[in-house]
Structures are given as C-alpha cells and as structure tokens.
Amino acid sequence: MLHRSLLCEVRGLDEALFIGEGHDLVFRLSFKTKFCFVAEPLTRVDRNPSRGVLLCNLIASREGRKCDSLPGLYAKWLVIPELTGSAYQPCIRELLRRTYYSSTAAKIHDLRAGPAVRTIAGLRELGDSYSPIISTLVRNKVTKFRRNRVPA
C-alpha cells in the first residue's frame, strides 16, 4: 500500500513494458520510500484448468518480447538520477549487456539480420567493439551447443 501521490510522482506502471512492469515500479519507488516485507500472501492466483486463459499461457506469450522489452527497462533505470554514480549502475549496465547478447543470439538464430544488427548497435553504445561482440556470440553459442549435446 502506498500513497497515490507517491505513485504519481514515479509516474505509475510503465505500460510500454511487456514484462517486468511491477519490478520496474518497485525499483523506481525504492528511491522515494522505504518498504516492508509482508510474509503472508496478499493475492491468490487462479490456476483452475477450466479458466479460458491460463497464467502460464500469458507469460509464455510474452516470452518472445522479453528480450525486446528488457533493454528499454534497463536503459530507463540507468538514467535515474539517484542511480548515477552508485554501485548499482555497473550491475545494471551488465544486465543490459547480457540482455543485448541474448537478444542478438536469438535474432541470429531466427535469421533476423536487421533486428540483430540493431541490437549489436546497443552493444556498441555500451562500448563493446565488433571483435569482442563476435567472439562472445560465438563462445556463447559453442558453450550452449556443448551443454545441450546428447552423449552418444
């Protein structure tokens, strides 16, 4: 529970996000007020199979947009004045970098060259050059291949 004025001050939920709207709101609120932990469930999730749309289906339908939504979320966090120069800033930059790499790999896998190039541009803005970007993408793919390889 919070005062409406506080919610208005941080501009409420960002409806442009496909995933993580609640995390984003709590993160932005954390710079404005203190929180307390409530050890009791405050909501109940309806997991009845007869429901028209199951919660897991809603989450799965958003999964494809997750990689496209997270960079905007992290970029927005990086410009929060209270975060500038803090110990959190490098951590969020690293989350952004990892998200760009995952997104680029997924787009290359789906043979979507244009979107992959645009995602690589995000890595370039973070200071990565082409050679480390390519070697990281190849190393990640090889690691994933080895992990998923079925022994003969």
> Roughly what angle, to the nearest 10 degrees, separates helices 88-109 and 113-125?
160
Averaged pLDDT of the chain: 81
Q: What is the per-residue DSSP string for 36-95?
A: ----S--------TTSSS-HHHHHHHHHHHHHHHHHHHHHHHHT-GGGTTSTHHHHHHHH
pLDDT at 62: 44
Judged on CB neighbours under 10 Å (0-12, 13-18, 19+), 78 is middle
The pLDDT of 103-119, averaged and rounded, is: 91
Name, in order, each residue with C-beta under 8 angstroms of 22's C-beta and a sequence gap of 6 or more.
13
> Roughly what angle, to the nearest 10 degrees, separates helices 21-29 and 55-78?
40
Q: Comparing C-alpha atoms, which of 122, 120, 132 is closest to residue 73?
A: 122
How do residues 26-58 score in pLDDT, each as one tens digit? 888 888 888 776 778 777 766 666 655 544 444
> Roughly what angle, to the nearest 10 degrees, separates helices 130-148 and 88-109?
70
The pLDDT of 93-106, averaged and rounded, is: 91
How do residues 78-92 score in pLDDT, each as one tens digit? 988 888 888 989 999
pLDDT at 80: 87
The pLDDT of 102-108, averaged and rounded, is: 90
Query: 27 and 77 in contact (C-beta within 8 Å)?
Result: yes
Cα–Cα distance measured from residue 60 to residue 3, given in angstroms and rounded to the nearest whole number:
33
Out of 4-8, 37-41, 42-46, 145-149, which region has the weakest mean confidence (pLDDT)? 42-46
In which region does residue 31 sit, left (phi positive, over 0), alpha (psi from -120 to 50) or beta (all else)? Answer: alpha
Give CA separation, 138 vs 14, 87, 104, 122, in Å: 35, 30, 11, 18
